[in-house]
A and B are shown apart, each in its own frame.
Chain A
Amino acid sequence: MSDTTPTNPDSTQPPVTPAEAGVEVALGQTTATAGQLTIVGVREGAFGVQGSGDTSGFGGLVEPIVMPGPTPRPYGGWFDEVADELGLALADHDLPMTSAIEKVVVDRGEITFFVRREHLPVVAGVLRDEPSLRFEMCMGVSGVHYPHEAGRELHAVYHLQSITHNRRIRLEVTCPEGDARIPSIVSIYPTNDWHERETYDFFGIVFEDHPHLTRILMPDDWPGHPQRKDYPLGGIPVEYKGAEIPPPDLRREYS
């Protein structure tokens, strides 16, 4: 099944490189090869100090934020079996694995399939229905916001569980902030009804064809999507024994 091996996503969707972000970073310092890096941002300075007379030298620190990159075959254990079966099942739907799955990441004993958003319903349907896969339970969707990952700022992360085979996999779908739309999989996993509403509420990802996509935890007329990274935490400074303690999001952050 070598034809189902996922290709490097860089051919279609280059990740943000430090050079694009206007920062020079010595990539050789990281262990992964340059083609496999998934850089989601750049960390600058230390101790959260900006613009003060930093004499430690750490203020000039510039470091890419590197998430685990795509994993080549073999993935190890039953991961290869799931990937093979998924490739075969997708082929039955005339959908090559390489066009549905952007990349596969195996990290810390967990496998993540990055699914291209337009193919998510097909992939989820196959994962649920194929007897050799049978991920009959979805543990919901969680959003993650990577504001510096241009073109793929918003991620929706689905955790699927197979009680039949006692396995767990993760699906990750990305969408740009300017076009935050991901197909809903409520028709496949009805449990995602509330989960997708929650992710819409907090991240503003519009799950298309959701039966009733409204806010669920925040008030209906709430402006903005609070879990996005550019949404402030809020809070007021507190005075204690004459000293003023700023709200948590304005404190020194030791990034």
Chain B
Amino acid sequence: MTTENITFGAAEEDTAEPGFTDPYAGFDDDGVGTVYTVSGGDWDTISGAPEGEKERIVVNMGPQHPSTHGVLRLILELEGESVHEARCGIGYLHTGIEKNLEFRTWVQGVTFVTRMDYLAPFFNETAYCLGVEKLLGITDEIPERASVIRVLMMELNRISSHLVALATGGMELGALTAMTFGFRERELILDIFEMVTGLRMNSAFVRPGGVAQDITDDQVRRIRETLPLLRNRLSDTAGLLVDNAIWMGRTVNVGYLDLAGCMALGITGPVLRSTGLPHDLRKSQPYCGYETYDFDVVTRDTADCYGRFLIRLDEMQQSMRIIEQALDRLEGNPGPVMVGDPKIAWPARLSIGSDGQGNSPEHIQHIMAESMEALIHHFKLVTEGFRVPAGQVYSAVESPRGELGVHIVSDGGTRPYRVHYRDPSFTNLQATSVMCEGSMVSDVVAAVASIDPVMGGVDR
């Protein structure tokens, strides 16, 4: 170790005490005290690389990296090109939605939760509303038509979410055509969302007690017309990748996670089903009347990225089956789409005018010119909201990524006391290290893509 150092002032070599070895803090010549020097940074003096061991480096992949699925930060310890340790850094998209919910009414909560997992807004909304309805004790009073519309929107949403999973996954592995195909097909579904709810995403369409707006027969017809095109294009995407040697080379036997690993890590969704376990909440704990629809739970037993990819493809086909059944039930079956209790049902209705979607003129006419009581009722329900009896519930739906659970606590007030989302992306992302460690850097990208995390849901 050297005693030569740079000092401020007039410190000189011969004034240092004999035998003194601290290179960074010597004594000044007046003996006043320690002089701190600007030096150091020589790793060799701190730790030398052990003999016979390869050099390891720590690489931050993300949070701004095109192949980490949003603002996900992967901290990789690399030895050459193989991953020795993989850790996730999350929190870059934390927006405090759960805290904000505690300061809004129960109905306003929908507007927040729809923004959590932004690729699956209808699942966020439905899980929340099912929980609120369970707290209110009105689960059995939800109109049949409202449940069918919820199922329809959720299954359309499942296809659009899986399409983004394929699209971004394809892009990350270099299959750019899969990306253009996936986003193009998703556009068809977003057009349906826009037609039905007025918004392409974050539509706050599912409300406690039902849905915000009925679907017209004309809209049903137009959704039906989209389906053959969508079906054709889905098979195009499948044909592009299923037997593609490059795609298989990147995904087969990559990102392996077996059933025991999934159980221990709480993994659900396509990753769990890729181990061969047919666990799907739509079958095992049906909600919204899923037990009355005819569909299959898709599984594979390869427990790898390729299996998860195939599951997503087949699940889209199953969703198409459910959508067709839902459309059959909607057509020519008019009925209410909101619970009958006017203390809970949202008073206003939307309608489409020459300037776009807005409050129905009939309703405005009614409350502003005809009935003072209707105005008071509208005002009270919109500003104050309804009270929800005290207690707590857990409601779960099968989102495209797995079990989306909501723990809702009410203290009997007009606002949620606590809402906690158990987001599948958050939980599934914990599998990154077990899937990636020991593999190559390129396989990390494939493994994370097969988990399909959405950082809006992870960080909330």
> Would you give the shortest CB distance from B198 to chain A, in whole angstroms?
23
Task: Pick from A110, A137, A193, A202 the residue with the most CB of B within 10 Å.
Answer: A137
* B384–A254 touching, CB < 8 Å: yes
Q: How far is the CB of A144 from chain B (nearest CB, A)?
A: 5
Q: In the complex, what's the smallest C-beta–C-beta distance from B151 to chain A, in angstroms?
A: 21
CB–CB B405/A226 < 8 A: no
Partner of B422, one of A112, A142, A143, A248: A142
A239 at the B interface (CB under 8 A) = no
Cα(A110)–Cα(B390), bound, Å: 14
Contact B98 A227 (CB under 8 A): yes
B360 at the interface (CB under 8 A from A): no
Are A40 and B430 closer than 8 Å at their CB atoms?
Answer: no
Residues in B neighbouring A254, C-beta threshold 8 A:
105, 383-385, 414
Closest to A168 in B: B394
A110 and B393 contact, CB distance less than 8 A = yes
Out of A65, A215, A218, A249, name the residue touching B412 (CB < 8 Å). A65
Say if the beta carbon of B418 comes within 8 Å of chain A.
yes
Residue of A nearest to B423 (CB): A140
A253 at the interface (CB under 8 A from B): yes
- Least distance between B113 CB and chain A CB atoms (Å): 15
Question: How many residues of B are in contact with the other chain, CB < 8 A?
Answer: 52
Q: Tell whether, in the assembled complex, residue B266 and residue A163 are in contact, meaning their CB atoms are under 8 Å apart.
A: no
Min Cβ gap A44→B in Å is 12
Are B91 and A217 in touch, CB under 8 angstroms? Answer: yes
Contact (Cβ within 8 A) A163 B99: no
Stretch from B20-28, B116-124, B277-285 forming part of the interface with A: B277-285
- Cβ of B426 to closest chain A Cβ, rounded Å: 7
CB-defined contacts of B384 to chain A, threshold 8 Å? 47, 254
* Least distance between B286 CB and chain A CB atoms (Å): 11
- B264–A107 contact, CB under 8 A? no
Q: Judge whether A137 and B407 touch: CB under 8 Å.
A: no
Does B219 belong to the interface (CB within 8 Å)?
no
Question: Is A190 touching B277 in the complex (CB atoms < 8 A)?
Answer: no
Q: Are B413 and A43 within 8 A (Cβ)?
A: yes
- Complex CA–CA separation, A196 to B418 (angstroms): 17
Q: Which one, A143, A194, A233, contacts B426 given CB within 8 A?
A: A194
B390, A65: Cβ atoms under 8 Å?
yes
**Interface flag for A56 (CB, 8 Å):** no
Cβ A66 vs Cβ B385 within 8 A: no
Q: Is B417 an interface residue (CB 8 A)?
A: yes
The reply to whether A191 and B383 contact each other, CB–CB distance below 8 Å, is no
Interface presence of A100 (CB below 8 A): no
Known contacts A40-B411, A110-B393, A142-B407: does B263 contact A136 (CB below 8 Å)?
yes
Residue ID in chain A nearest B91 by CB atoms: A217
Chain A: minimal CB distance from B364 (Å): 21
Whether B94 contacts A68 by the Cβ 8 Å rule is no
Name the residue of chain A whose CB is nearest to the CB of B406: A142
Q: Which B residues touch A170, using CB under 8 A?
A: 392, 394
| A137 engages B266 (CB within 8 Å) | yes
Which residues from chain A contact B268 at a C-beta distance below 8 Å? 137
B103 contacts the other chain (CB 8 A): yes
Known contacts: A110-B393, A157-B407. The answer to whether A191 contacts B264 by CB under 8 A is yes
* Interface presence of B135 (CB below 8 A): yes
Q: Which residue of A lies closest to B426 (CB)?
A: A194
CB-contacts of A132-166 with B (<8 A): 136-140, 142-145, 157, 159, 161, 163, 166
Say yes or no for A21: interface residue by CB 8 A criterion.
Answer: no
Whether A67 lies near B103 (C-beta < 8 A) is: no
Whether A67 lies near B98 (C-beta < 8 A) is no
Q: Is the CB of B391 within 8 A of A255?
A: no
The residue of chain A having its C-beta at the shortest distance from the C-beta of B260 within the complex is A136
Query: Is the C-beta of B358 less than 8 angstroms from some C-beta in chain A?
Result: no
Beta-carbon contact of B418 and A255 below 8 Å: no
| Most chain B CB inside 10 Å of its own CB: which residue of A112, A157, A219 | A157
Cβ contacts under 8 Å, A191 to chain B: 264-267, 427, 430
Q: Does B150 contact A (CB under 8 A)?
A: no
B103 proximity list for chain A (CB < 8 A): 233, 248-249, 251, 253
B104 proximal to A (CB < 8 A)? yes
> Per-position contact with B for A19-54: 1 when CB-CB < 8 Å, else 0?
000000000000000000000110100010000000
Whole-angstrom CA separation of A140 from B266 in the bound complex = 8
Contacting residues of chain A (215-229) with chain B, CB-CB under 8 angstroms: 215-219, 226-227
A189 contacts the other chain (CB 8 A): yes
CA distance A67 to B417 in the complex (A): 12
CA–CA, A163 and B279, complex, Å: 8
From A40, A218, A251, B91 is in contact (CB under 8 Å) with A218
- Is B391 a contact of A68 with CB atoms below 8 Å? yes
**Is the CB–CB distance between B412 and A66 below 8 Å?**
yes
Report how far A57 CA is from B460 CA in the complex, Å: 40
* A108 close to B411 (CB less than 8 A): no
Residue among B264, B267, B284 with most chain A CB within 10 A: B264
B90, CB-defined interface residue at 8 Å: yes
Verify A159–B407 contact, CB threshold 8 A.
yes
- Residues in chain A near residue B267, CB distance under 8 A: 191
Closest 5 CB pairs of A and B: A191-B266, A142-B420, A217-B91, A254-B384, A217-B94
Extra contacts, 7 of them, besides A193-B430, A195-B427, A254-B383 (Cβ < 8 A), are A41-B411, A139-B403, A157-B392, A170-B392, A189-B264, A190-B264, A248-B103
- Chain A residues within 8 Å of B, Cβ to Cβ: 40-41, 43, 47, 65-68, 107-110, 112, 136-140, 142-145, 157, 159, 161, 163, 166, 168, 170, 189-195, 198, 202, 215-219, 226-227, 233, 248-249, 251, 253-255
B residues lining the A interface (CB < 8 Å): 90-91, 94, 96, 98-100, 102-105, 134-135, 137, 263-268, 277, 279, 284-285, 383-385, 390-394, 396, 403, 405, 407, 409, 411-415, 417-418, 420, 422, 426-427, 429-430, 459-460
A-B contact pairs, 26 of them (CB 8 A): A40-B411, A47-B384, A66-B412, A67-B391, A67-B392, A108-B135, A110-B394, A137-B263, A137-B266, A139-B422, A139-B427, A142-B418, A144-B418, A157-B420, A161-B403, A163-B279, A189-B266, A190-B430, A191-B265, A192-B266, A198-B426, A217-B459, A217-B460, A248-B104, A249-B103, A253-B103
